[in-house]
Amino acid sequence: NAGVTQTPKFQVLKTGQSMTLQCAQDMNHNSMYWYRQDPGMGLRLIYYSASEGTTDKGEVPNGYNVSRLNKREFSLRLESAAPSQTSVYFCASSESPGGSWNYGYTFGSGTRLTVV
Amino acid sequence: QKEVEQNSGPLSVPEGAIASLNCTYSDRGSQSFFWYRQYSGKSPELIMFIYSNGDKEDGRFTAQLNKASQYVSLLIRDSQPSDSATYLCAVNRAGNTPLVFGKGTRLSVIA
């Protein structure tokens, strides 16, 4: 009954380093998302995957890439980290992008990333 | 106009009072509306959803939807200190596109 699992939970990077945030869901959901959350900015969508094999940009995609590895897994890659990417990153999943009519999105526990 | 707007707060209410959280949205084609609670340092968790005009009650929580006014609200009755959190409103737009989240309202229930 894990739901959405994100790794790592915490990470400190130096400017210019790269890293991949991993996300896996065990709810057989079709759609998966990556959000970042900054103080006063709310949740901002980075990228999403409506279904296996598709990915689309969200509100703030610059500096990020994603891979929908299979139906369960959706990774987010920072190729050259910048201090502006210091944030809390949440992965989420749902039956469809609009959320099923009664279940919305299920979120992972988040990754706190600091870029120095 | 932002797609989903919420007053950032903080909204302070005494223990036992009714907390009223409000959200407005801009897309008239929106069909489903969700309320998430987020404790500090934690991830958002779904607490209510509504898709028909009127009220929907679940325990101490009541969601209210008025599509004509493009307004959705969350009432928390008998507020407890454990209700202190940020409440996020999320709205689906017309078409199968991702939910749009408001920036959230921070609620503080004072014992």
Asked if A50 contacts A56 with a C-beta cutoff of 8 angstroms, the reply is yes
Using the beta-carbon criterion (under 8 Å), do B43 and A99 form an inter-chain contact? no
The whole-number pLDDT of residue A100 equals 61
Three-state DSSP at A72 gives coil
Q: What's the mean per-residue pLDDT of chain B?
A: 93
CA–CA separation, B92 and B96 (whole Å): 8
Q: Report the 3 state secondary structure along A21-54.
A: EEEEECCCCCEEEEEEEECCCEEEEEEEECCCCC
Lowest average pLDDT, out of A33-37, B3-7, B82-86, goes to B3-7
**What's the average model confidence in pLDDT over A4-33?**
96
Q: How confident is the model at residue A2 (pLDDT cuts 50, 70, 90)?
A: confident
Dump pLDDT digits (tens) for B1-55. 678 999 888 999 999 999 999 999 998 888 889 999 999 999 999 999 998 999 9
Q: How confident is the model at residue B64 (pLDDT cuts 50, 70, 90)?
A: very high
Q: Measuring CA to CA, how many Å separate A100 from each of A29, A43, A110, B25, B98?
A: 10, 19, 22, 19, 11
Q: What are phi and psi of B27, to 5 degrees?
A: -90, 110
How far is C-alpha A62 from the chain's CA centre?
Answer: 14
Lowest average pLDDT, out of A10-19, A50-59, B95-104, goes to B95-104
**Nearest by CB to A42, which of B32, B49, B104?**
B104
**What's the average model confidence in pLDDT over B87-101?**
86
Q: How confident is the model at residue A41 (pLDDT cuts 50, 70, 90)?
A: confident
CA–CA separation, A88 and B42 (whole Å): 10
Nearest chain A residue (CA) to B48: A102
CB of B103 less than 8 A from some CB of A: yes
User: What is the least distance, in Å, from the CA of A113 to any CA of chain B?
Assistant: 13
